[in-house]
Amino acid sequence: MNMSSIRLIVGLGNPGREYETTRHNAGFWWVDEFAHSQNLSFRSEAKFHGLAARGQLHGNEVFLLKPQTFMNVSGRAVGALAQFYKIAPAEILVVHDELDLPPGSAKLKLGGGHGGHNGLKDIIAQLGTKDFWRLRLGIGHPGERSEVSNFVLHDPRREERELIEEAMRRALDVAHLVIEGKTEAAMLKLHSN
């Protein structure tokens, strides 16, 4: 199966100092690390409602995006950039926190539902399809549905943060494969840990 390369990597999170270290911002953390590893810097791009960076990576022009719209309207930023640069949903990777995976777990997948994640929900609505790539960074689940919004808006415990960072590093190690469209190889490597 011939995969398209990734042209847009979106990290999900909430803007603002008070959210910086919260679980819901795991997508921002990862994209920041990735940008740092590639010597890319983010600039504020009003027309894309976010902070954007672009660079030549592994022979492909790749955009990085951190929506500054707040999580539940993330799709506005993703839709604006994807439309402007004519980027297909299958060429988009969305990096986000995942309640259904434990800290220390990172999984790559194409398509699927939003699992109650408001950022994903809005991106699906804006793109009109579920068929974009997701890098799911496990943050664990508080156990009670009613506790979820409180849980994602709080900092992980130190040992959880260490596990999340470990998973982020493993995902960074396969980022080049994902960008080149070698997603099966990336999944094999990432999921075998």
Residue 54, SS3?
strand
Rounded to 10°, the helix 118-127/74-84 angle is 40
Residue 118 annotated as lining a ligand binding site: yes
Q: What is the distance, to the nearest Å, from the Cα of residue 91 to the centroid of all Cα atoms in its chain?
A: 13
* Strand, helix or coil for residue 181: coil
Catalytic residue among 24, 49, 96, 117: 24
- The answer to whether the pTM exceeds 0.85 is yes
Take residue 173 and report the two structure tokens written for it: 């190690």
Query: Annotation-wise, does 19 bind a ligand?
Result: yes
Answer for the pair 67, 78: CB distance below 8 angstroms, yes or no. yes
Q: Is 42 annotated as a binding residue?
A: no
pLDDT digit string (tens) for 132-157? Answer: 999 999 999 999 999 999 999 999 99
Q: Is 117 a catalytic residue?
A: no
Convert the pLDDT of each residue in 11-55 to its tens digit: 999 999 999 999 999 999 999 999 999 999 999 999 999 999 999
CB 93 within 8 A of CB 8: yes
| CA dist list (Å): 62 to 24, 37, 95 | 24, 14, 15
The predicted structure's pLDDT at residue 3: 61
Domains of the chain plus CATH, in order, are 8-191 (3.40.50.1470)
